[in-house]
């Protein structure tokens, strides 16, 4: 996805409105001293045709750039709104946490289990026990 594109830019002070560029433009994007950016493909033919050098190629943001900016702005506003509204949406579910309390974890012991001791625990002949 390209965020910029090359398009023609006409200097209105230097343009004589001779319309040579209009006849050369394959897409009909030129209406001196204006350029229809939605039609301009950035081919540059108009820059060679202009006898006064009033047309130059310029870099402009593409439609994808504007869409990306819009999506990012919408996401930022949505996230900010969610952050601000969360305490009001779920007030009854809010719990305070006590980080100084001792926590005991339950242990699981299967029924009918025996705990080996002595040589059973170390393994017979291992040298332990």
Q: Contact, 63 vs 55, CB < 8 A? A: no
Q: Is the pLDDT of residue 126 over 60?
A: no
pLDDT in tens, 19-33: 999 999 999 999 888
Residue boundaries of the structural domains of the chain: 4-61, 62-93
- Looking at CATH, the fold of the domain delimited by 4-61 is given as Alpha-Beta Plaits (3.30.70)
pLDDT mean across residues, the chain: 83
128 has a pLDDT exceeding 60: no
In this structure, is the dihedral angle defined by the CA atoms of residues 41, 43, 48 and 53, taken in order, positive or negative?
Answer: positive
Residue 33 CA from chain centroid, whole number: 36
Which of the four pLDDT bands, split at 50, 70 and 90, describes residue 93?
low
């Amino acid at each position: 996805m390209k965020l910029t594109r090359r398009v023609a830019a006409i200097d209105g002070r230097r343009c004589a409105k001779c319309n040579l560029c209009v006849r050369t433009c394959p897409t009909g994007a030129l209406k001196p001293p204006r350029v229809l950016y939605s039609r301009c493909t950035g081919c540059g033919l108009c820059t060679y045709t202009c006898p006064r050098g009033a047309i130059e190629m310029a870099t402009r943001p593409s439609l994808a750039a504007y869409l990306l900016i819009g999506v990012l702005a919408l996401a930022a506003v949505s996230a900010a709104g969610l952050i601000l509204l969360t305490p009001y949406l779920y007030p009854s579910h809010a719990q305070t946490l006590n980080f100084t309390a001792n926590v005991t974890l339950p242990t699981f012991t299967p029924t009918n289990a025996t705990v080996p001791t002595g040589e059973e625990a170390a393994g017979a002949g291992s040298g332990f026990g």
